[in-house]
Amino acid sequence: MALYRGKFAEEKPGFIMTSEPGSFAQKTILYRKPKIIDSVIAENNYPSHITSRLIDFKREILNGRIQPLTEDAPDVKEWNALWMKFNGRGWLELPWYFAESYFYRRLLEIVEYFKLGPLEGLDPFRASKERQIAESINVLSAALENVSKVDDLELCFENLLHASLWGNRIDLSNLTVPDDVRRRQAMIERENLLINDFSRVAEVFMEGSLSHVAFINDNVGAELGFDIILADFILRNGWADKATFYLKPYPFFVSDAMLQDFMRTLQAFISSPYPNLIRLGKSVLRELVNGTIELSADWFWASPYHFSQMPEALRDEISLSDIVILKGDVNYRRLLEDRHWPYITPITRIVDYFPTSILILRTLKGGSL
């Protein structure tokens, strides 16, 4: 986890490309994207004409040239203007982030997500998201139970940040074990972090000078659940007066959280057999009503643009937050423009354009360190 403020401009390195032999970027296109199409076909009862188009799309990715969007939707002109820059190229000849974001937009066109009719607004990834939400309930309830038993706010905060980072891979049960055992467990887990600015982060939050905290969210399931728990913890302890969740406006990167996923998560809390989750779900609903928690889903968050290209209106909105907690690998890649930055480049110089302070919670998956 790392805390940064931002202004830096110099000649930038090239984008990470899908053409790089043996790279993670190339493998996501060659292997991951076709498997996603297979899963969409298997988990949805689409009519035959859509299944056929999905199969054709898989062939295009493996052997063809990227095709434009053809539907009548408000964002088509914007996407196709970018597509024109790469017209005639194959999927293994593109900037990696554009290839991935365009894949999901093409997929939504094929499954008629934006088309008026019976399939409009149907999330092709809903089944897997609902599984992730259901599988997270026990973990989240146990985490809440353990947090409630500890009086040390800084210790709770540190562990909730780690839970928000690692999702369901974290075990908050170590909050209630003896100090020497907890220290050993914490040391093992912390060794997996390349950068850990927790001391500085704790100082910023616990001094009580923050008013508005924002989350740029990533995945549904345990990760979003821990984000909600973390936001509630920050608000309940008076470390901020307001929290905003920036969610995706439509299905993106399979498990990215949308507004609907946030509300389904709260409903799962309230309908669970656990009193602590029921209380949390109802509390967050009240905070949504009174404006203490806000949800936002601007088109930009699922767009082909990097964060340095953020529209002015959204940039101004973000600047009203005292700190942004940025989640996940893809958001991190967009923050760094998905470029081949030398590993010695200080990140503070790369992200100096960002309109407010950032706390980055990210596990290493893609090519950007």
Q: pLDDT value at position 163?
A: 86
SS3 63: helix
Q: Which residue has the tokens 């019976």?
A: 118
pLDDT at 173: 40
* CA–CA dist 260, 295 (Å, integer): 10
Report helix, strand or coil for 193: coil
The token duo for 65 is: 């040239």
Range 130-361: architecture per CATH: 3-Layer(aba) Sandwich (3.40)
| pLDDT for residue 168 | 47
Task: Return the structure tokens found at 64.
Answer: 């063809």
Task: Tell me the C-alpha distance between 241 and 213, whole Å.
Answer: 8
CB-neighbour burial class of residue 327 (10 A; exposed 0-12, middle 13-18, buried 19+):
buried
Exposed / middle / buried, residue 45 (Cβ in 10 Å: 0-12, 13-18, 19+): exposed
CATH code for the structural domain at 24-110: 1.20.930.60
Closest to 294 in 3D by CA, of 229, 363, 215: 215
Tokens coding 252: 């993106």
pLDDT digits (tens, 9 = 90+) for 232-266: 999 999 999 999 999 999 999 999 999 999 999 99
- Extract the residue ranges of the chain whose pLDDT is less than 50: 4-9, 168, 170-178, 181-188
**Phi then psi for 101, rounded to 5 degrees?**
-65, -40
**What is the rounded CA–CA span in Å between residue 178 and residue 170?**
18
The CA distances from residue 216 to 183, 188, 248, 314, in Å, are 30, 28, 9, 13
Question: Residue 1 has what pLDDT?
Answer: 52
Would you state the torsion angle of the CA atoms of residues 181, 183, 188, 191, taken in this order, to the nearest 10 degrees?
180
Question: What pLDDT does 365 receive?
Answer: 66
Largest CA distance in the chain: 62
Residue the block writes with tokens 């404006």: 291
**Phi/psi at 341 (5° precision):** -70, 135
* Per-domain residue ranges of the chain: 24-110, 130-361
Question: Encoding tokens for residue 363?
Answer: 């596990």
Q: What pLDDT shows up at residue 191? A: 65
- Evaluated on CA atoms 330, 305, 129, 31, the torsion sign reads negative
